[in-house]
């Protein structure tokens, strides 16, 4: 793959454009546009076009730094001061892209610029490779700090020049704004319009922004705009441009981490506020009762009875986080294994006696569910009335109450304060599972949010009415072409291929990565682990090295922060709600002595550059330290060095060390032959061993369920060939081990074995993540088709070419509905009875269907009779109302009906989804059933849309008609408003 790309890169580099004046260079984009519009294939102009863009980068984002107000380099050269006065003079009246300088100016600057003066911005060859991968609609995997922002500009320009709208989706507003402003000069120089869509913008501003050729925006905004546009009642109110090409930055975060959370827009609250308060005492006593039970079981375990493993297994089902249980498991090495043996034995034997029988409910941590046992049901019904949970589940109100009750139970058992959510300003704020960030404005669905509010005794907020929902995946699939970039994709390459048909191309780093990824360290308990982490931070910190510590949750960052404070270590803690502020902190995380605690992906997208004097400061500190140690009596210090670069930085300082004492590099990793020290190595046992390293040190305080996320954290260090290191800490109490490593027995604490176990647990967790995402996608495919159908219907109505013929076909479709409802096709023709059908048409539509003569009707005859009857009424009404008004009325009614029906359907559907997903635990994969049932429901929805539309249209009062004659006008005010909106 990359070989083919390399050939193109050579071709790109064969163009030398440095001799062109700006005015000449800028004409190229016109030339390209022309050629493309004449039908020349884009591939044809590709190498030259990329060469032009490359040159523009170096000129406008490199050399033009000279004209920045804050540029500090000195430049007295005549050519430069002349150029500066030209630019400054013109800036007042025209945009930078209109200011053209000569080739001679650029030549002069190129001759005098120095490395590190910030005047060079020439895209690297590897960046061109990445650009080509994106251009072909693939995922370019490039490390952090490799300059992916720049890479995306190449395909975006090419596509925009060939007339496609390009969207570039970022993870947040801050990055959308930053990237747009930063890359803007390049687009503008080529005559392309670029803009960004930000969440605070008004519709008018958005509409304006979407007009640009290239639009930056955060992925949520793109999706929300799509949903919002599709509930608007006039096409001209829509803001979004056509969805053509999209480049997704941090694509793994968007397609994987966000895959299971749909984007939802919601409207006015529903009337029913829920019965949470009523159920609270019952749920609490249920939990107390189970806690007593667990106490009893624990006592039995401690009595060392023979059945203690059965009891343990039961406790694990009843309360997987029980502290005594975890302790016991830690201190009794075989317990895990014996316990899971028992579980599988019981499951396999299908014995009469089930483990859960003694419990009230069973907690499934993996699937985040709580299942009531028969005992639990009996207990609850004892308080709430018999049959409450089991009977009459079809009565809507009761179904709603049962849902409230079960969600409340989940809220108590599964959702942990300060881990899953925090209480803030009298409300619940969700803590994002992946980023550890506070997700303001996000709400748990399905009444869970309200349930948690009730548990915390807060005011219960209203549950919203869903007006539209779509998953990130399905939103991005609406584009003709999708490409993406990230530092971490290859571990999930197969999934990208299978689920999204996206290929991952690994692009080599511009300069080889020399970061040392040190082996993981393992501890029994969280406590011991954190202590060790603090020790390591202290050590690195004492040499002035910057340290970045990644934690899993806000709560854990705070705990660590408190520990560091106790040790007097100044640090920044990053759970900022503000991305811009977050970016500032993370940017300075590479300064000497900086200690930064961040949740897993906080600050994604911002690059950590190392402080200017960092290496010197760190080396001085180490040398100082060695000298002191030697003076204090250490005879032989072994220094582990992990890269040639670091060795070469340190070595010169060691030459004039006091004789008789040696410092010998140990080389556990990459460096092999270092002649100066070789051979002296094993003479003495070192009295002190120490790791020497430069650059940023990253500590992971826990392994995440997906290796990809760990890679993301590690990748913060060692950017652009910088030295650096990373290490992960794990304990047996980490979620990863507890949930996915259960059946393993930990006998010895051998690091290699532990690493294997951890990796196995991680693989299991990754598989589980994959399965869930796959399921979400497969299921969402079904609703995706439905959503598209509804949205298409709306757009057709709105697009203005709604004609009488459209209305006729609506009627004839409805005739089919009537036939299938009232006419029994299997009966002999002469026994068919049309009286029900006639009655229905008369009462609902005021339409009189005339029976065909002779009492003998074929289906065809019936069809004709219905059509004629409707046509007659329709013509009569149209004669009175006028054709124009009739069409307007039809449109207004249909829009209203569509909206009400669709929102009802959405809320009904999420409930249906859940009931199906409960069944799936019983029956395994039931996707086929789901498709079938869902499509049946959807067909019913379409039929009811037809019926309600006709009813609304035919019941609109004719002039002079008495109001009480209105049969059932659905929504008189809404229809009135829609009518006056002049569709």
Q: Does 121 bind ligand ADP (CB under 6 A)?
A: yes
CB 979 within 8 A of CB 884: no
CB 701 within 8 A of CB 550: yes
Considering the complex, state which of residue 62 and residue 705 has its C-beta at the smaller distance from ligand ADP. 62
Indicate which single residue of 66, 128, 145, 701 sits in contact with ligand ADP (rule: CB under 6 A). Answer: 145
- E strand or H helix at 878, and its extent? helix 859-881
Considering the complex, state which of residue 147 and residue 705 has its C-beta at the smaller distance from ligand ADP. 147
Q: Residue 150 binds which entry of ligand ADP, Mg ion, none, with Cβ cut-offs from 5 to 8 Å by kind?
A: ligand ADP
CB atoms under 10 Å from CB of 287, counted, come to 16
Choose the binding region for ligand ADP from 20-28, 118-126, 237-245, 315-323 (rule: CB under 6 A). 118-126
Indicate which single residue of 29, 149, 343, 492 sits in contact with ligand ADP (rule: CB under 6 A). Answer: 149
Q: Residue 607 binds which entry of ligand ADP, Mg ion, none, with Cβ cut-offs from 5 to 8 Å by kind?
A: ligand ADP
Considering the complex, state which of residue 607 and residue 734 has its C-beta at the smaller distance from Mg ion. 607
Considering the complex, state which of residue 148 and residue 308 has its C-beta at the smaller distance from Mg ion. 148
Taking CB positions, which residue lies at the least distance from ligand ADP?
147
Site size with Mg ion, rule: CB under 5 A: 2
CB 480 within 8 A of CB 296: no
Considering the complex, state which of residue 124 and residue 154 has its C-beta at the smaller distance from ligand ADP. 124
Q: Does 130 bind ligand ADP (CB under 6 A)?
A: no
- The residues, ordered by sequence, that sit 6+ positions from 845 with a Cβ below 8 Å of its Cβ are 870, 873, 950, 951, 954, 955, 967
Q: Does 166 bind ligand ADP (CB under 6 A)?
A: no
Indicate which single residue of 147, 155, 320, 723 sits in contact with ligand ADP (rule: CB under 6 A). Answer: 147
**DSSP 8-state code for residue 417:** B
Considering the complex, state which of residue 130 and residue 605 has its C-beta at the smaller distance from Mg ion. 605
CB 551 within 8 A of CB 147: no
Q: Residue 500 binds which entry of ligand ADP, Mg ion, none, with Cβ cut-offs from 5 to 8 Å by kind?
A: none
DSSP code per residue over 813-845: HHHHHHHHHH--TTS-GGG---HHHHHHHHHHH
Structure tokens at 393: 């589940």
Choose the binding region for ligand ADP from 145-153, 251-259, 590-598, 632-640 (rule: CB under 6 A). 145-153
Q: Residue 473 binds which entry of ligand ADP, Mg ion, none, with Cβ cut-offs from 5 to 8 Å by kind?
A: none
Q: Does 177 bind ligand ADP (CB under 6 A)?
A: no
Q: Does 169 bind ligand ADP (CB under 6 A)?
A: no
**Subset of 36-55 contacting ligand ADP (CB under 6 A):** none
Indicate which single residue of 123, 603, 666, 695 sits in contact with ligand ADP (rule: CB under 6 A). Answer: 123
End-to-end CA distance of the chain: 52
**Subset of 138-157 contacting Mg ion (CB under 5 A):** 148
Indicate which single residue of 150, 317, 516, 866 sits in contact with ligand ADP (rule: CB under 6 A). Answer: 150
Binding mask 678-697 for ligand ADP (x = CB under 6 A): --------------------
Q: Using CA atoms, how far apart are residues 90 and 88, in angstroms rounded to an integer? A: 6
Q: Residue 666 binds which entry of ligand ADP, Mg ion, none, with Cβ cut-offs from 5 to 8 Å by kind?
A: none
Choose the binding region for ligand ADP from 141-149, 399-407, 412-420, 929-937 (rule: CB under 6 A). 141-149
**Subset of 599-618 contacting Mg ion (CB under 5 A):** 605
Owner of token pair 């025209």: 94
The alpha carbons of the chain give a radius of gyration, in whole angstroms, of 34
- Please report how close the Cβ of residue 114 comes to ligand ADP at its closest, in angstroms: 14
Q: Residue 147 binds which entry of Mg ion, ligand ADP, none, with Cβ cut-offs from 5 to 8 Å by kind?
A: ligand ADP
Q: Residue 733 binds which entry of Mg ion, ligand ADP, none, with Cβ cut-offs from 5 to 8 Å by kind?
A: none
CB 741 within 8 A of CB 890: no
Q: Angle 448-455/396-414 helices, nearest 10 degrees?
A: 60
**Subset of 304-363 contacting ligand ADP (CB under 6 A):** none
Torsion of CA 740, 742, 743, 744, to 10 degrees: 90
Q: Using CA atoms, how far apart are residues 417 and 259, in angstroms rounded to an integer? A: 24
Q: Does 724 bind ligand ADP (CB under 6 A)?
A: no
Considering the complex, state which of residue 485 and residue 537 has its C-beta at the smaller distance from ligand ADP. 485
Q: Using CA atoms, how far apart are residues 356 and 347, in angstroms rounded to an integer? A: 11
Q: Residue 145 binds which entry of ligand ADP, Mg ion, none, with Cβ cut-offs from 5 to 8 Å by kind?
A: ligand ADP
Burial-class residue 773 by CB neighbours within 10 Å (0-12, 13-18, 19+).
buried
- Please report how close the Cβ of residue 120 comes to ligand ADP at its closest, in angstroms: 6
CB 533 within 8 A of CB 701: yes
Sheet holding 214-218, edge to edge: 194-197, 214-218, 166-170, 245-249, 481-486, 139-141, 504-506
- The residues, ordered by sequence, that sit 6+ positions from 666 with a Cβ below 8 Å of its Cβ are 638, 639, 640, 641, 681, 689
Nearest alpha carbon to residue 773 among 93, 163, 209, 252: 252
- Please report how close the Cβ of residue 126 comes to ligand ADP at its closest, in angstroms: 9
Q: Does 184 bind ligand ADP (CB under 6 A)?
A: no
- Please report how close the Cβ of residue 31 comes to ligand ADP at its closest, in angstroms: 25
Q: Using CA atoms, how far apart are residues 447 and 272, in angstroms rounded to an integer? A: 11
Considering the complex, state which of residue 148 and residue 738 has its C-beta at the smaller distance from ligand ADP. 148
Considering the complex, state which of residue 246 and residue 776 has its C-beta at the smaller distance from Mg ion. 246
Considering the complex, state which of residue 431 and residue 504 has its C-beta at the smaller distance from Mg ion. 504
Q: Does 488 bind ligand ADP (CB under 6 A)?
A: no
Q: Does 228 bind ligand ADP (CB under 6 A)?
A: no
Q: With H, G, I as helix, E, B as strand and everything else as coil, classify residue 142.
A: coil
Q: Using CA atoms, how far apart are residues 167 and 360, in angstroms rounded to an integer? A: 52
CA angle 179, 145, 150 (to 5 degrees): 40
Structure tokens at 310: 């059965």
Q: Residue 146 binds which entry of Mg ion, ligand ADP, none, with Cβ cut-offs from 5 to 8 Å by kind?
A: ligand ADP
Q: Does 47 bind Mg ion (CB under 5 A)?
A: no
Considering the complex, state which of residue 123 and residue 724 has its C-beta at the smaller distance from ligand ADP. 123
Q: Which residues pair with 688 in a beta bridge?
A: 637
Q: Does 245 bind ligand ADP (CB under 6 A)?
A: no
CB 30 within 8 A of CB 45: no
Q: With H, G, I as helix, E, B as strand and everything else as coil, classify residue 197.
A: strand
Structure tokens at 646: 């670091």
Considering the complex, state which of residue 148 and residue 615 has its C-beta at the smaller distance from Mg ion. 148
Choose the binding region for ligand ADP from 71-79, 144-152, 669-677, 746-754 (rule: CB under 6 A). 144-152
Q: Residue 436 binds which entry of Mg ion, ligand ADP, none, with Cβ cut-offs from 5 to 8 Å by kind?
A: none
Q: Using CA atoms, how far apart are residues 465 and 447, in angstroms rounded to an integer? A: 11
Q: Does 144 bind ligand ADP (CB under 6 A)?
A: yes
Q: Does 607 bind ligand ADP (CB under 6 A)?
A: yes
CA angle 674, 679, 685 (to 5 degrees): 110
Burial-class residue 525 by CB neighbours within 10 Å (0-12, 13-18, 19+).
middle
Q: Residue 309 binds which entry of Mg ion, ligand ADP, none, with Cβ cut-offs from 5 to 8 Å by kind?
A: none
- The residues, ordered by sequence, that sit 6+ positions from 754 with a Cβ below 8 Å of its Cβ are 520, 522, 730, 746
**Subset of 231-260 contacting Mg ion (CB under 5 A):** none
Q: Residue 123 binds which entry of ligand ADP, Mg ion, none, with Cβ cut-offs from 5 to 8 Å by kind?
A: ligand ADP
Q: Using CA atoms, how far apart are residues 731 and 6, in angstroms rounded to an integer? A: 45
Q: Does 97 bind ligand ADP (CB under 6 A)?
A: no
Q: Using CA atoms, how far apart are residues 127 and 141, in angstroms rounded to an integer? A: 11
Site size with ligand ADP, rule: CB under 6 A: 14
- Residues of the shown chain interacting with ligand ADP in the complex, contacts defined by CB under 6 A: 121-124, 127, 142, 144-150, 607
- Residues of the shown chain interacting with Mg ion in the complex, contacts defined by CB under 5 A: 148, 605
């Amino acid at each position: 793959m990359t070989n083919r790309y390399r050939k193109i890169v050579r071709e790109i580099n064969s163009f030398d454009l440095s001799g062109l004046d700006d005015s000449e260079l800028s004409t190229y984009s016109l030339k390209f546009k022309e050629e493309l519009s004449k039908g020349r294939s884009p591939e044809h102009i590709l190498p030259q076009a990329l060469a032009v863009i490359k040159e523009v980068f170096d000129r406008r984002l490199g050399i033009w730094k000279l004209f920045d107000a804050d540029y500090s380099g000195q430049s007295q050269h005549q050519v430069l001061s002349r150029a500066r006065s030209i630019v400054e003079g013109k800036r007042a009246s025209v945009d930078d892209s209109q200011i053209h300088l000569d080739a001679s100016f650029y030549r002069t600057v190129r001759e005098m610029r120095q490395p590190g003066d910030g005047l060079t911005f020439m895209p690297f060859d590897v960046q061109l490779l990445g650009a080509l991968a994106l251009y072909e609609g693939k995922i370019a995997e490039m490390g952090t700090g490799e300059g992916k922002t720049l890479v995306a500009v190449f395909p975006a320009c090419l596509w925009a020049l060939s007339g496609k709208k390009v969207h570039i989706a970022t993870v947040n507003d801050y990055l959308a704004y930053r990237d747009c402003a930063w890359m803007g000069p390049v687009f503008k120089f080529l005559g392309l319009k670029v803009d960004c869509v930000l969440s605070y913008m008004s519709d008018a501003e958005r509409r304006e922004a979407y007009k640009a050729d290239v639009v930056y925006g955060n992925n949520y905004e793109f999706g929300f705009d799509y949903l919002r546009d599709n509930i608007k009642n006039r096409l001209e109110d829509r803001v979004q441009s056509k969805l053509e090409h999209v480049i997704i930055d941090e694509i793994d975060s968007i397609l994987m981490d966000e895959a299971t959370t749909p984007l939802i827009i919601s409207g006015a609250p529903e009337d029913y506020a829920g019965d949470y308060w009523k159920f609270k005492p019952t749920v609490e006593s249920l939990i107390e009762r189970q806690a007593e039970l667990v106490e009893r079981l624990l006592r039995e375990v401690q009595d060392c009875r023979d059945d203690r493993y059965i009891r343990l297994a039961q406790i694990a089902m009843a309360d997987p986080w029980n502290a005594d249980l975890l302790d016991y498991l830690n201190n009794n090495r075989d317990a895990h294994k014996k316990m899971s043996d028992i579980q599988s034995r019981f499951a396999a034997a299908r014995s009469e006696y089930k483990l859960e029988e003694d419990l009230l409910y069973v907690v499934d941590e993996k699937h985040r569910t709580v299942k009531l046992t028969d005992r639990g049901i009996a207990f609850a019904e004892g308080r709430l009335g018999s049959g409450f949970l089991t009977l009459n589940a079809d009565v809507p109100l009761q179904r709603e109450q049962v849902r409230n009750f079960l969600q409340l139970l989940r809220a108590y058992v599964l959702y942990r304060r300060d881990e899953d959510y925090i209480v803030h300003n009298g409300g619940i704020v969700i803590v994002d599972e992946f980023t550890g960030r506070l997700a303001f404005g996000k709400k748990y669905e399905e009444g869970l949010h309200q349930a948690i509010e009730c548990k915390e005794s807060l005011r219960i907020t209203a549950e919203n009415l869903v007006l539209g929902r779509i998953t990130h995946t399905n939103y991005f699939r609406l584009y003709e072409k999708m490409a993406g970039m990230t530092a971490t994709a290859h571990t999930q390459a197969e999934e990208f291929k299978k689920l999204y048909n996206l290929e991952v191309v690994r692009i080599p780093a511009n300069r080889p990565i020399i970061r040392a990824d040190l082996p993981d360290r393992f501890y029994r308990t969280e406590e011991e682990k954190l202590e060790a982490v603090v020790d390591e931070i202290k050590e690195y910190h004492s040499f002035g090295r910057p340290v970045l510590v990644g934690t899993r949750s806000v709560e854990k960052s705070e705990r660590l922060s408190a520990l560091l404070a106790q040790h007097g270590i100044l640090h920044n803690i990053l759970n900022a709600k503000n991305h811009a502020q977050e970016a500032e902190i993370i940017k300075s995380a590479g300064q000497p002595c900086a200690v930064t605690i961040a949740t897993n992906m906080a600050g994604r997208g911002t690059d950590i550059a190392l402080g200017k004097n960092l290496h010197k400061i760190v080396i001085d500190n180490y040398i100082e330290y060695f000298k002191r140690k030697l003076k204090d009596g250490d005879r032989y210090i072994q220094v582990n060095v992990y890269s040639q670069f670091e060795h070469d930085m340190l070595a010169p300082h060691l030459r004039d060390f006091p004789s008789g004492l040696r410092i010998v590099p140990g080389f556990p990793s990459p460096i092999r032959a270092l002649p100066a020290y070789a051979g002296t190595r094993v003479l003495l046992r070192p009295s002190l061993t120490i790791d020497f390293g430069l650059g940023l040190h990253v500590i992971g305080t826990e392994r995440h369920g997906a290796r990809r996320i760990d890679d993301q954290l590690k990748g913060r260090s060692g950017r652009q060939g910088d030295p650096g290191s990373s290490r992960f800490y794990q304990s047996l109490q980490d979620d990863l081990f507890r949930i996915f490593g259960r059946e393993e027995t930990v006998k010895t604490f051998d690091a290699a074995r532990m690493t294997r176990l951890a990796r196995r647990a991680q693989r299991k967790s990754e598989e589980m993540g994959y399965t869930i995402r796959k399921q979400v996608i497969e299921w969402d495919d079904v609703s995706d088709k439905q959503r598209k159908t509804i949205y298409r219907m709306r757009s057709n109505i709105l697009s203005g070419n709604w004609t009488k013929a459209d209305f006729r076909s609506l009627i004839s479709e409805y005739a089919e509905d009537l036939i299938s409802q009232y006419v029994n096709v299997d009966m002999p023709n002469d026994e068919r009875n049309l009286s029900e059908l006639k009655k229905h048409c008369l009462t609902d539509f005021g339409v009189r269907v005339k029976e065909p003569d002779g009492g003998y009707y074929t289906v065809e005859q019936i069809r004709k009779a219905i059509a004629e009857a409707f046509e007659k009424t329709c013509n009569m009404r149209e004669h009175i109302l006028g054709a124009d008004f009739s069409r307007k009325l039809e449109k207004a009614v249909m829009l209203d009906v569509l909206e009400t029906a669709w929102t009802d359907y959405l809320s009904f559907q999420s409930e249906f989804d859940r009931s199906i997903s409960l069944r799936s635990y019983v029956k395994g994969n039931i996707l086929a059933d789901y498709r079938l049932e869902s499509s049946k429901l959807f067909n019913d929805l379409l039929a009811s849309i037809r019926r309600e539309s006709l009813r609304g249209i035919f019941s609109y009062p004719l002039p002079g008609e008495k109001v009480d004659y209105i049969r059932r006008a659905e929504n008189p005010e809404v229809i009135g408003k829609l009518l006056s909106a002049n569709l």
